[in-house]
Structure 1
């Protein structure tokens, strides 16, 4: 069979994966804290028909002659650029301006990390995310606001204070985590990430405005960093790439048909 046919098949598979990633980006264009994905390709191993040869006293050098065998998936990267901030005026909506991630207690010793700052108070007054995971303070504990509190505020440095009468009482300081390679985090769904050996977990449960993490903006949410114009452009490119690879298969099939017809 023709090598071009298998090259076309590999290209179709890769562009289908690219379309899958683009579709997921577009589906999450309004997801708080979502970080877009990006697909890269690599060429597959090439078949060498003639090796390279160096120059001799009577003949110059020649290059290798190789035929490529298609493409393969190189990586699916998570792009952790800053998303724009949307003002909500809800004091429990928090956005991180800069690097860093919120740290959540998922139970059973599991810790998760997120940029989605849509937080809530449970019936016991603890600050939790939409899954009920506790937001951790710099000491690794819960942040609790008693039901008797008349109001509370969250400062840019992560300090949480509540007011009862004329008394202001600290409830703790929100702890953030920093990563040298946030693209190495593992997506767990529900806007959550877990750490991996390649994420480069640095300091954890440190207050905002420390080295390596940003500051908090209360009353705002960080939205997705998906750019629809860019995604639609990539979608058109992927669609045309897929169509071009199907044409390779069609042309290869026509050549094989001609070969079969030689016996007639």
Structure 2
């Protein structure tokens, strides 16, 4: 049999996979914070026809003669470059401008101090919870005021000056004028209707989110209280994160461990290595349609060429068979 037949099969197979990747990229051109993927190829093992020889007294060296046996998929990479910022003017929309991922959790509420312990910018979660990561900052609130993703995952962060008590109630946090995050534990965040100042309940009129992720509430008497700080993490190899769907990522064995951004007022500040949180904006997809359509044309022609290779090989075999009449 002709080796070109099997080479054509491998060419059709990898170009089918590449077309699947391109199709997924194009379908997600409007997905918030989507990261484009690319398929890479590599040649398969080559069969040696003649071996290489070294130079001799009367004759020079000869290169090896090899016949390639086709192509195979080398990998599907995630390109984590920044997407464009899209203004939304919605106060619960947050875009990450730069490095970093927002932490979200699935599991019981964690207003107590036992769900997520933090040591040296590393987090340890309890067994009944699950930590995931996202750059989609289109947040919502539930009936209790908990800060959530659009799929109900709870946004994680730090309390400010102990502003979240064990029952989940917010207490007035800025009486001293100094804002310090409680970095010892991650907690679910809440934007309440009222804030307790001693025995007095003060209604929250509005809130804002700073570039550091600090959520500040304007109270009915005009004072400002910090409600908490949205936590952010970075990875040594963010392209190694596993895509879980719903704009969520999960840590993998090759992504590295998540490194937490330090909270405001921390003596061990590492926040300069992280991006800013921009309120009223969302990060768009980083898909380049012109590039994807060009890749689609090349991939389609490559698939056709591989199919033509099989057709031509079939014609050669037919000619060989017809030698015997």
Q: Higher Cα Rg: structure 1 or 2?
A: 2
Change beyond 3 A, Cα 1:207–1:38 = farther
Aligned to 1:221: 282
CA contact (8 A) 2:261 2:274 kept: no
User: Offset of 1:162 from its aligned partner?
Assistant: 1.1
1:45-84 residue pairs with structure 2 within 5 A?
A: 45-84=45-84
For residues 4-61 of structure 1, what are the alpha-carbon distances to aligned partners after superposition, in whole Å with 9 as ceiling and x for unaligned?
A: 0100000001011010000000100000010000010000000011111111223211
**Paired residues of 1:126 and 1:142 also in contact (CA < 8 A):** yes
- 2:103–2:133 contact (8 Å) kept in structure 1: yes
Q: Check if 1:233 corresponds to 2:294.
A: yes
| The 10-residue stretch of structure 1 (33-42 or 52-61) with the greater mean CA deviation from structure 2 | 52-61
The Cα shift of 1:82 comes to 0.4
Give 1:211 deviation, angstroms. Answer: 3.3
From 154, 159, 176, the equivalent of 1:134 is 154
Q: Given the alignment, which residue of 213, 225, 236 partners 1:158? A: 213
Count, aligned residues: 264
Residue 202 of structure 1 deviates from its aligned partner by: 4.3
Please give the TM-score of this superposition, normalised by the length of structure 1.
Answer: 0.97
Unaligned runs of 5+ in 1: none
Distance 1:119 1:131, change over 3 A: same
> Is the 2:156–2:188 Cα contact (8 Å) retained in structure 1?
yes
- Is residue 145–residue 193 contact of structure 2 (8 Å, CA) maintained in 1? yes
Which position in structure 1 is the counterpart of 2:176?
none
The question of 1:167 aligning with 2:213 is answered: no
Q: Secondary structure at the match of 2:301?
A: helix
- CA pair 207-257 structure 1, distance change in 2 beyond 3 A: farther
Which residue of the partner structure matches residue 190 of structure 1? 246
In the superposition, the TM-score normalised over structure 2's length comes to 0.79
Which stretches in structure 2 are left out of the alignment for 5+ residues? 108-127, 159-184, 195-203, 265-269
Give yes or no for contact 1:137–1:205 (8 Å, CA) kept in 2. no
**Matched position secondary structure for 1:42:** strand
Could you say which structure has the higher helix fraction? 1
Local SS of the residue matching 1:263: coil
